[in-house]
Amino acid sequence: MNSDSFNNTTIVQPSEDFARFIETHLEVVKSVRRAVTYDALVLDARLRQSLVTIRSLGRQRLYVAAAELSSLLQTSPYVPAFSSRYCQHSYITPTYERDKEAFSSYLRRFLEHTGARVLIASSDGTLAVLRAHRAEFERYTRVALAKEEALAVAANKKLTLEVAQRLDIDVPRGIVIRSMDEVSPAIREIRLPAVVKPVESWVWTNGDYNGRQGVRLLCQLVTKRDEARKAIEELIQCAGSVLLQQFLPGRREAVSFLYANGAMAARFAQWTRRTQPPLGGTSVYRQSIALPQDIAEQAERLIREIELEGYSELEFRRDGYGNPYLMEINPGLSASVEVAVRAGVDFPFMLYRWACGETLQPVEGYHTGRWMRYLEGDLLTTIQSLKQQGRPGVPSSLRAIAEFVAAFCIPADYDYLDWHDPLPARIAALDFCHRVLHFPKQKQPARELWYANRPVQ
């Protein structure tokens, strides 16, 4: 095992010998650990929402540690969240894509010997592992997730849409396809262009390592029959079934909630101007808006029906006439959550307090009209738009460039950029440059991690 310390940050990297790594790791943890237990361990440190969570909890004087998978450090050694002044210690864990037992064993032993009051994760893969081993982890910590019965519905698009239809909530026309023989009739009914979606975003497939391999599946816009067949076949091979859904070109809006003990502690709404990739990706340019009466009421009914406690984000798309259609539920902290925090709804801290069983003070309102921009994602979206001319929902080249440039003239907050915690923005820039310069060279393991945390002021 290899360990590097930079002031308050400890980077712990797994060796090839996992058993030896676990035993040695315990000694390293004891040498760096302070007298107090972590208030929270934030997994998926590379994600934007993880940095938001660390900052949110750190500002409340909570003692926070962060962790990320070793496999993700192979693409770039720079993790912005590790450099935050509010991140007390940082750890690199075994990956779970090919061996989830190694990850779960590491995390279980880590919690056993160091403790963490609350465990917070956001990525689909990490949430899947936490759900599978939840009983083991809850012996040592509180997992900031809703009950399994509710998660089973929220994580499955087919089940989500079935419950929504039962509640008279409009959903896009769609057909679940389980074999290639069903493709042609489905295309005739739904018509092209259409969207090919996995029923669940994360699945465990038959692999060559311990028999199972985790795969994250993405949706895809298809405009031609051959394109649709290829996309559907790939998803069926991985997941066994796929959802073919009508394409809706309208505005994308989302409503977020913090639901606890039968009451809505917080509500928030935003609309997304641009996503990366251009169709159905993560939000890269968004604005806080007042709660739209139509989708807010529908979304709240759905959350109450499935009893999805904790944080959740419900995405809607409007058609050409402005009618809203439910697309999906995200039961983990979403990548766009920082716009809510900046607008006055601190979802990460509320999620932490809910997981601890504390009483929540309802949030009565927030600032509307606040723009938030993820500059790297917006740049990539613009480039992709230039390459995908003629595709549904893709603006012309001139318009894409004009909108990207014009956004600099509109007052906005930027992901990673916080003048009270400036280093993550610098590390994010280095991370982007590193990935651009090394693409598509062969991945190399991260050997050095240049972070410089400071004590919480």
pLDDT over 60 at 21, yes or no: no
Residue 157 half-sphere exposure toward CB, CA atoms < 13 A: 26
**Cα three-residue angle 172-373-281, rounded to 5 degrees:** 30
How distant, in Å, are the alpha carbons of 192, 342, 383, 412 from that of 406? 33, 22, 16, 12
Cα 398 from Cα 457, distance rounded (Å): 47
Q: Phi first, then psi: what are they for 362, rounded to 5°?
A: -60, 140
Give percent of the chain with pLDDT exceeding 70: 86
Give the pLDDT confidence score for residue 212 in this predicted structure: 58
Question: Are the beta carbons of 359 and 274 closer than 8 angstroms?
Answer: no
Q: Is 21 helix (H, G, I), strand (E, B) or coil?
A: helix
* Weakest-pLDDT range from 42-51, 226-235, 434-443: 434-443
Residue 118's pLDDT band, with cuts at 50, 70 and 90, is: very high
Span 384-391, average pLDDT? 88
**401-433 pLDDT, tens digit each:** 999 999 999 999 999 999 999 999 999 999 999
Question: Are the beta carbons of 314 and 255 closer than 8 angstroms?
Answer: yes
Task: Please give the order of strands across the beta sheet that includes 174-177.
Answer: 174-177, 242-246, 194-198, 220-222
Cα 382 from Cα 65, distance rounded (Å): 35
Cα 191 from Cα 300, distance rounded (Å): 31
Question: Are the beta carbons of 14 and 1 closer than 8 angstroms?
Answer: yes
Alpha helices in 241-396, H assignment, sequence order: 293-306, 338-343, 347-355, 375-387
Tell me what the pLDDT averaged over the chain comes to.
85
What is the rounded end-to-end Cα distance, in angstroms, of the chain?
32
Q: Which two tokens stand for residue 384?
A: 């992709």
Domain annotation for the chain: domains and CATH numbers: 2-145+418-438 (3.40.50.20), 173-246 (3.30.1490.20), 252-414 (3.30.470.20)
pLDDT over 50 at 450, yes or no: no
Residue 16's pLDDT band, with cuts at 50, 70 and 90, is: very low
Give percent of the chain with pLDDT exceeding 90: 54
Span 438-443, average pLDDT? 56
Contacts 24+ apart (CB under 8 A), 178-186: 178/236, 178/240, 178/241, 179/236, 180/229, 180/232, 180/233, 180/236, 183/228, 183/229, 183/232, 183/244, 186/244
Span 301-314, average pLDDT? 96
Q: Is 285 exposed, middle or buried (0-12, 13-18, 19+ CB in 10 A)?
A: buried
Cα 119 from Cα 41, distance rounded (Å): 5
pLDDT over 60 at 29, yes or no: no
Cα 143 from Cα 138, distance rounded (Å): 7
Cα 72 from Cα 449, distance rounded (Å): 13
Maximum alpha-carbon separation in the chain: 65
Span 272-289, average pLDDT? 87
* Residue found by looking up tokens 């009483």 in the block: 359
Cα 22 from Cα 19, distance rounded (Å): 5
Cα 348 from Cα 354, distance rounded (Å): 10
* Weakest-pLDDT range from 204-218, 293-307, 340-354: 204-218
Span 181-187, average pLDDT? 89
Q: Is 230 exposed, middle or buried (0-12, 13-18, 19+ CB in 10 A)?
A: middle
* Weakest-pLDDT range from 2-6, 50-54, 57-61, 219-223: 2-6
Choice between 17 and 114, residue whose per-residue pLDDT is larger: 114
Q: Which of 323, 310, 316 is nearest to 270 (CA)?
A: 316
Residue 129 half-sphere exposure toward CB, CA atoms < 13 A: 30
Give the pLDDT confidence score for residue 455 in this predicted structure: 34
How distant, in Å, are the alpha carbons of 93, 105, 113, 210, 366 from that of 108? 12, 5, 9, 19, 38
The pTM of the full predicted model, rounded to 2 decimals, is 0.87
Residue 75's pLDDT band, with cuts at 50, 70 and 90, is: confident
Q: Which of 273, 385, 257, 243 is nearest to 312 (CA)?
A: 257
Span 295-309, average pLDDT? 95
Span 76-89, average pLDDT? 93
Q: Which residues pair with 202 in a beta bridge?
A: 216
Give the pLDDT confidence score for residue 35 in this predicted structure: 46
Span 275-304, average pLDDT? 90
Choice between 222 and 11, residue whose per-residue pLDDT is larger: 222
pLDDT over 50 at 196, yes or no: yes
The neighbour count for residue 71, using CB atoms within 10 Å, is 16
Residue 447's pLDDT band, with cuts at 50, 70 and 90, is: very low
Span 222-240, average pLDDT? 86
